Structure 1
Amino acid sequence: MAAQLLCDPDQAEWIRALVTAGLLPPSSGGVRDPGDEADRLARLREEIARIADALARLGTPGSGGAAERRGTFEAAPVVTDVTAPEVRDVIRARRLRDRFFGTGLFEDPAWDMLLDLFAAELEGARVSVSSLCIAAAVAPTTALRWIGRLTDAGLLERAPDAADRRRAFVKLSPVAAVAMRGFVAATRAAGLSMV
């Protein structure tokens, strides 16, 4: 059999070439019926080609292959009927603790920021960095450090104010927005409070 050159082969062509090369009978001095051997090889090549094409389709987008079936196992978007006033009530309840136990004992700036941004998202409002620092109920330097950490973690997104370059706005990232809705749904399903 003549040598075949593969120029920029796809996965199916590689599989066909490798399997075909492995199925060729070794040269021997025995007598064989060339017609039987040729028919057998032709059938094997057809079957190998069919298998190779099926394997190549498994990873091809739009083919309904394994890559697409994996995507069907993702969780459906969480739908909750939480409102901004409900989230603001949780924030107020958290601030009430300071009245009875003193300030600084229950600091949790990351959660306070996420709650404030979640309420703002539900209201369709924008939140400036300075406003978010106030919502964190900690020193501004601590709040800024937490904004940096949450941004680095992919939970917050910052955008400059087009009208005033000295100001920047902060919002929940899409990942954080989904997580907040999931948290609300999970706490409600368990009969728990968001506090």
Structure 2
Amino acid sequence: MAPSTAIVWFRRDLRVHDLPALAAAAAGHDRVVPLFVVDEARVGGRFASPNRTWFMLESVRLLGGELEALGAPLVVRTGDPRALVPALALELGGADVYTSRDHAPYGRTRDRAVGEALAASGSTLHPQRGVLVHEPDELATAAGAPFSLYSPFRRAWEIRARRSPLGPPTGLGRHGVDPGRLPTLDT
């Protein structure tokens, strides 16, 4: 039987410790292909900032070093993730994709499009918790509605149980995918 492969699509959560998406992929698959897509819509849009882009690229570079130490080099692609993520999954023979849920409007729209493209080719997008301590639907008033006042929200947030932090995974497996190149501010 061929080894099963999963993609972990990194976005804002550039870490190997305490990342549920990475832990789930490593636990369920023989090989993990870490992926970061330099999303041109995010770095070149109307809110483009050289300082923010530099910080992101430097953080991705550091993440790449941590992943290399775990045996799975970071794959970097530049362009539209709605096309690039499904294309890599197809290139890997139908790999499933794990990522942290993105609750922002752009992220939800992008993830829905990626999930549909993956499903059309037989793969699955597995969004995991990871960016927030508590998911938005986990905290509500006694009537089940979202909080409209901060103090009651804060009290509910503070007493809600938190999951234990996860360590970095082991045995991600070398994947052999061309890692690509992390752009610089000049390119």
Structure having the larger proportion of residues in strand: 2
**Structure-1-length-normalised TM-score:** 0.22
Q: Which has the higher contact order (CA 8 A, sep 6+)?
A: 2
**Structure-2-length-normalised TM-score:** 0.22
Structure having the larger proportion of residues in helix: 1
Larger radius of gyration: 1
